[in-house]
Amino acid sequence: MLKSVILPEAASADDCARAVLEAWPDNLVVHLAGLKPEQDLREFYGAMFDKIGHAEPLAEDATVGDRNSQRTGEVWMQVRYDPAIPDAYRHSANPQPLHTDGSYIPGFPNAGFLACKAMPKSGGATTFIAGKDVVAALQSEAPDLYDRLLAVDIPHARSGDRRVAPFLRFEDGEPVLNWNYYCVDTEADAEVQSLRQALFDFLDSSPMIAERLQRVKLSPGEAVLWKDDRLLHGRDGFDPEIVSDRFLWKAQVQVEA
């Protein structure tokens, strides 16, 4: 599920790309550590993207317009603690519930990416749970909910995009997920709305989900790349002391491996 690669401090973007491509086929999450903390993250990892595939210009800016018009046309966006920017998980210190990033974007690339510029001492890990563990938890703890989730399409909408997909489907026997509680189309019918709440409550309270959740607490210079629709991710809350106390650069990448 999760592979931590410790690269030499002087590793090049090429070395980093080779390590990613080697780990990618057999893992859902690749954690990249060991690099110099003070490097220019966007320059280094941006060069790495071009060697493993390419980044998509899907960045959003929470300070621009409303939630339906925040696309900037850039690759990189900030996940940065800033209490001056309200109503955005990317700028809060709250725990973020499990989700996929591509929930409302048709043709979303296959990987999410976060690189760390700053991390507070307390809390702030990014959390991951494999699709197969979500399936196992639903089957054993909430079999009726599991059946409904397979049967009902859930429309998600935001930033002018809309995607209709079930929470869970199988592709070549592998679970594929599509989910963000906060992006479910508000116009969807009552069945969808009740399923939305039931799934949120389940993910929030399931003992098996809590037990199988894995944490990656990034240090400055480190990064994590994950197969967006093969797992769910979120983050632990944290205790900020100053603005930008936690600062990650986020991108969306199509990995060709």
Residues at the contact surface with ligand AKG, assessed by CB under 6 A: 79, 90, 96, 101, 114, 126, 233, 235, 248, 250
Contact 14, 7 (CB under 8 A): no
**List of residues 6+ apart from 190 with CB closer than 8 A:** none
Q: How far is the CB of 250 from ligand AKG (least distance, A)?
A: 6
Neighbours of 256 (CB within 10 A): 11
Contact 254, 20 (CB under 8 A): no
Q: Give the one entry of ligand AKG, Fe ion, none that residue 193 binds, where binding means its C-beta sits below a cut-off of 5 to 8 angstroms depending on kind.
A: none
For position 228 contacting Fe ion by CB under 5 A, the verdict is no
Tell me the C-alpha distance between 252 and 226, whole Å: 10
Nearer to Fe ion, 101 or 185 (CB): 101
Pairing status of strand 29-33 against strand 2-6: parallel
Nearer to ligand AKG, 60 or 185 (CB): 60
Nearer to Fe ion, 1 or 150 (CB): 1
Residue 164 identity (one-letter amino acid): V
Q: How far is the CB of 191 from Fe ion (least distance, A)?
A: 26
46 to 105, contacts with Fe ion by CB under 5 A?
101
Nearer to Fe ion, 189 or 204 (CB): 204
Q: How far is the CB of 72 from ligand AKG (least distance, A)?
A: 15
Nearer to Fe ion, 101 or 133 (CB): 101
Distances (CA, A) of 236 to 126, 145, 146, 208: 6, 25, 26, 17
Please give the residue ranges that form the binding site for Fe ion (CB under 5 A): 101
